Structure 1
Amino acid sequence: MYLFRLAMASLANRRFTAILTAFAIALSVCLLLAVERVRTEARASFASTISGTDLIVGARSGSVNLLLYSVFRIGNATNNIRWDSFEHFANNPKVKWAIPISLGDSHRGYRVMGTTEAYFQHYQYGHQQSLKLAVGRAFASDPFEVVLGAEVADALHYKLGDKLVLAHGVAAISLIKHDDKPFTVVGILKRTGTPVDRTLHISLGGMEAIHIDWHNGVPARGDGRITADQARNLDLTPQAITAFMLGLNSKISTFALQREINEFRGEPMLAILPGVALQELWSLMGTAEKALFVVSLFVVLTGLIGMLTAILTSLNERRREMAILRSVGARPWHIATLLVLEAFALALFGVLAGLGLLYLGIALAQGYVQSNYGLYLPLSWPSQYEWTLLGGILIAALLMGSVPAWRAYRQSLADGLSIRL
């Protein structure tokens, strides 16, 4: 115990250097834990981009491709699904709710999705969170109404009542626009931190209306054009959709219905479990995830090397101090233990300060990060894995402290009570 008090007194005597060293370790520890917590929560948030949905169904292709275009609005479907096939499974006794999705158009680089009111009622993300409107309402009977994601509204400065024109295709700049059938903004969703924020939502009737006078991918000319008012009076039931999502009455029937859809003879379709496909997609990004973690480990190592350098640099300056300690009865192993304790104390202070910085940062940025990036960073105790990392840092500090301790041990043996200046 007296050695520990002596180590504290020695650090207090060199407080400026000790504070800087501990602060460098604290920053590296904070970065390591922040990266680990963000990595963990990003994985959880990624896995919960869509939640509460049991099956996603699309044209037969790959599970990752289906997930990308139906949930993340990335890429395009290989084919469409007939509307009667959707109705067949939407009316299945095992199905509680069904959300149809129709993709293919865009607006200034943002994807447009046609769907129904069921989307706003049943689609969930995060920890079973439902979509909520910041202002306005969901689209209703008028096919030319649009509900914007939060990012679309902010980036393009739209507000309720504004008119906008959709473009054919998904390119950022499109030469073919549906300028004869403008849409009115009737609602803006609250920010979710998911692809919903980057999507314009219209009704399936609206998606059908803007293409009702198109033939073979080309708009009609002259007398063949159908105006918006004329389109409102027509049957706008879609002939085909891109994909659909299903919520089931019982989780037990998930695999049975998945097999039934995959073996459906009406047309080739693929049903995937969102959670499984998300894990498969996340595994493709595992290299970047590990690289980020390795970089943060090297930052911690740099902080510990800085501590080692500071202690080694002070050794020659402290040889008189060590000689005085020898003169009052300290043995060489006492000197070595003293330096190991100093290294451990610096690392311990750095770890505690790093934890404090981490929780301060989370408290200040929690709301912003969740609303803008969809990451929920909890103010919780470190996990078992994080405690393991912190323990590893302290052990590494002890090992590094043994280097100057060994040098001090040898010097105290060689110097005895008279040091060579």
Structure 2
Amino acid sequence: MMFLNVIWHSLLNRKGTVLLALISVAISIFVLLGVEHIRHQAKESFNKTVSGVDLVVGARTGQLNLLLYAVFRMGNATNNIAWESYRELAADPKVAWTIPISLGDSHRGFRVVGTTQDYFTHFRFGQNTPLSFSQGQPFSQLFDVVIGADLAKKLGYRLNDEIILAHGLGQASFSLHDDHPFKVVGILRPTGTPVDQALYVSLQGMEAIHLNWKNGVKIPARKTSLDALAERDLTPKSITAFLVGLKSKMTTFHVQRQINTYSKEPLLAILPGIALTELWQMMGVMENTLRLISLLVLFSSLLGLSVMLLSSLRERRREIALFRAIGASPFFVFMIIQTEALLITLTGVLVAMLALTMSIQFAQSFLVENYGVFIDSFAFNSETLGILSLILAGTLLLGLIPALSAYRMSLHYGLATRS
């Protein structure tokens, strides 16, 4: 108890420099833990977005671009797929189910997905978990819409509310499909994936709101009534992409080759897992660079802590001499310096973890809305324990510099200090 009391009063006596060292250490640990947590959570968020899908099919492009816009709603398609081509490929005996996807519209910055009820039947996320509804049911009428959990929470929508879709993407749009508003008939349960950030309408509903548009521009003074729409053939002319589930995994590469060599139009079929692996390989260099920068920031902060303790020894010669006069051993002085370094670092760890927890809470909605990445709250785990062990080991190692200097000083100085 006396040992800790001595350390506490010693730190209070130098509270200005100690506070600066503490802030520096806390910031560096915050950066290191933040980079590791976000890196890990981003991978988990991407990996659990889609499950049980054997192939993702779209117009010929890079496989990462196809994966991003078809599954994660990021980016845009280079071209569409003709409806006839989709129907022909979907009718293949080796195909168990398909989910057509039509993109291009939005609502207050959130993507609109045109699809069929097969989306709610066959789509899986996480560990093969099906979609479920917290309220309502799938769309059944032409102008029904199902919304994701985060969208409903952020915009405050409830069942039977009306929603007007906008042409194109973006937070603000002046090209509105205000002729026929959609009615909310279902709200999905949270999934922690981009599913929570989208609106889902039928392909026929998507086709209906574009009847009076040409080249992305609304034709003035033209409106189609509901009765007229009931008589129209609203089969879509094209879709953006489609997801494929096969009856047998053994046929995956055969079907992929069949689609990639499709003669009627250039198409690309990709395996989601392989595309994600390529994504992580591309991100590997950036991940390692961020790790290196974080470690260098941490090293510089711990080195600064060591320099602060070392520079304070000149002011503490009387204190050290007094310890020796009352019988304290040089090892006692050595342990005081090392314990001070550890206390400052441990306090920095606690401050950094608290700041990281609060920052993630504030940033969660921003990351999901803008990047489709769901970051869980910061939690202590084995990986965090490994990082903290590394930090403490570095503190003890760099703390040897001032601690050994104090040890040698305690051997040479008595009550009479040198000028």
TM-score where L is the length of structure 1:
0.79
Matches of 1:281 and 1:265, distance apart in 2 = 29
Answering whether residue 37 of structure 2 is matched by residue 37 of structure 1, we say yes
- Counterpart position of 1:158: 157
Q: Which residue of 2 aligns with 1:419?
A: 417
CA distance in 1, matches of 2:42, 2:13: 37
How far off is 1:202 after superposition?
0.5
Amino acid at match of 2:64: V
Asked if the contact 1:7–1:339 (Cα under 8 Å) also holds between the matched residues in 2, the reply is no
Distance 1:87 1:138 in 2: 22
1:14 counterpart (10, 18, 28): 10
Aligned partner of residue 69 in structure 2, secondary structure:
helix
Counterpart CA distance in 2 for 1:311 and 1:75 is: 52
CA distance 1:133–1:350, shift in 2 (3 Å): farther
- The range that moved more, 288-297 or 45-54, is 288-297
Task: Say if 1:39 and 1:215 are closer, same or farther in 2 by CA, change over 3 A.
Answer: closer
Separation (CA, whole Å) in 2 of partners of 1:167 and 1:7 = 69
Question: d(CA) in 2 for partners of 1:317 and 1:296?
Answer: 33
Distance 2:347 2:95 in 1: 53
Query: Aligned equivalents of 1:398 and 1:247: distance in 2?
Result: 55
User: Which residue is 2:371 aligned to?
Assistant: none
- The AA in structure 1 aligned to 2:339 is A
SS at match of 1:160: coil
Partner of 1:178: 177
Q: CA deviation at 1:243?
A: 0.3
Contact 1:26 1:352 in 2 (8 A): no
Cα displacement (A) at 1:245: 0.7
Offset, 1:256 = 2.7
Query: Deviation digits for residues 332-351 of structure 1, max 9, x if unmatched?
Result: xx63x545534443454456
Deviation at 1:289, TM superposition (A): 4.5
Match in the other structure for 1:402? 400
Moved more, 34-43 or 190-199: 190-199
Q: 1:252, CA displacement in angstroms?
A: 3.7
Does residue 345 of structure 1 match 2:339? Answer: yes
Change (3 A) 1:34 1:116: same
> Which residue of the partner structure matches residue 207 of structure 1?
206
Match of 1:51, SS state, is: coil
- 8 Å CA contact 1:307, 1:343 repeated in 2: no
Hey, what's the Cα distance between the residues in 2 that align with 1:126 and 1:242?
24
Distance 1:346 1:133, change over 3 A: farther
Say whether the 8 Å CA contact 2:162–2:181 is kept in structure 1. Answer: yes
The answer to whether the Cα contact below 8 Å between 2:321 and 2:415 also exists between their aligned partners in 1 is yes
Alignment CA distance shift 1:285-1:263 (3 Å): same
Partner letter of residue 89 of structure 1? L
In 1: Cα distance, 2:411 partner to 2:231 partner: 100
Shift, 1:217, TM fit: 5.6
**1:168 matched residue in structure 2:** 167
Structure 2 counterpart of 1:100: 100
Partner SS state of residue 113, structure 2: strand
Post-superposition Cα deviations, 1:221-272, rounded to whole Å, max 9, x if no partner, equal 77x8532222123332223211001123343433332222212223211011
Distance of 2:56 and 2:227 partners within structure 1: 35
Aligned to 1:246: 244
> Residue 93 and residue 365 in structure 1: after superposition, are their counterparts in 2 closer, same or farther (change >3 A)?
farther
Q: Cα deviations across residues 105-160 of structure 1 (Å, max 9, x unaligned)?
A: 233433221001111222233444433333322201x1111112344434544332
Residue 147, structure 1, aligned to residue 141, structure 2:
no
Change (3 A) 1:393 1:368: closer
Alignment root-mean-square deviation, CA? 3.9
| Separation of aligned partners in 2, 1:216 and 1:18 | 71
> Aligned-pair distance for 1:167?
3.1
In the alignment, is the contact (CA less than 8 A) between 1:339 and 1:404 conserved in 2? no
| Partner in structure 2 of residue 52 of structure 1 | 52
1:237 to 223, 230, 235: 235
Q: 1:188 to 1:365 in 2, by over 3 A?
A: farther
Could you say what secondary structure the match of 1:103 adopts? coil
Task: Kindly state the Cα deviation for residue 6 of structure 1 after the two structures are TM-superposed.
Answer: 9.0
CA distance in 2, matches of 1:314, 1:167: 65
2:90–2:98: 8 Å Cα contact kept in structure 1? yes
- Tell me the CA shift for residue 194 of structure 1: 3.3
Q: Match of 2:305?
A: 307
Task: Work out the number of aligned pairs and report it.
Answer: 409
Preserved CA contact (<8 Å) 2:146 2:185 = yes
2: CA distance, partners of 1:364 / 1:409: 41
Calculate percent identity across the aligned residue pairs: 45
Structure 1 residues 233 and 15: CA distance shift in structure 2, 3 A: same
Structure 2, unmatched stretches of 5+, are 369-373
Partner of 1:271: 269
Larger mean CA deviation between 81-90 and 6-15 belongs to 6-15
1:131-142 equivalences in 2 (<5 Å): 131-140=131-140, 142=141
Report how far residue 312 of structure 1 moved: 2.4
Q: Relative to structure 1, is the Cα distance of residues 248 and 356 closer, same or farther in structure 2, using a 3 angstrom cutoff? A: farther
Change (3 A) 1:368 1:139: farther
Q: Which amino acid aligns with 1:135?
A: Q
CA distance in 2, matches of 1:70, 1:13: 61
Q: Is the 8 A contact 1:34 1:358 kept in 2?
A: no
Residue identity matched to 1:14: S
- Taking the aligned partners of 1:185 and 1:10, their CA distance within structure 2 comes to 66
| Counterpart contact for 1:56–1:245, Cα < 8 Å | yes
Q: 1:250 to 1:367 in 2, by over 3 A?
A: farther
Residues 356 and 267 of structure 1: CA distance in aligned 2, closer, same or farther (over 3 Å): same
Distance 2:231 2:306 in 1: 80
SS in 1 for 2:382: coil
* Worse-matched range after superposition: 113-122 or 149-158: 149-158
How far is 1:286 from its partner?
Answer: 5.3
Counterpart Cα distance in 2 of 1:196 and 1:353? 40
Amino acid at match of 2:167: H
TM-score by length of 2: 0.79
**Aligned partner letter, 2:196:** D
Question: 1:369-384 residue pairs with structure 2 within 5 A?
Answer: 373=368, 374-377=374-377, 379=379, 381-383=381-383
**Which letter does structure 2 place at the counterpart of 1:11?**
I
Report deviation, 1:69: 2.0
Q: In structure 1, what is the Cα distance between the partners aligned to 2:402 and 2:183?
A: 72
Residues 213, 402 of structure 1: alpha-carbon distance in 2 compared, 3 angstrom cutoff: closer
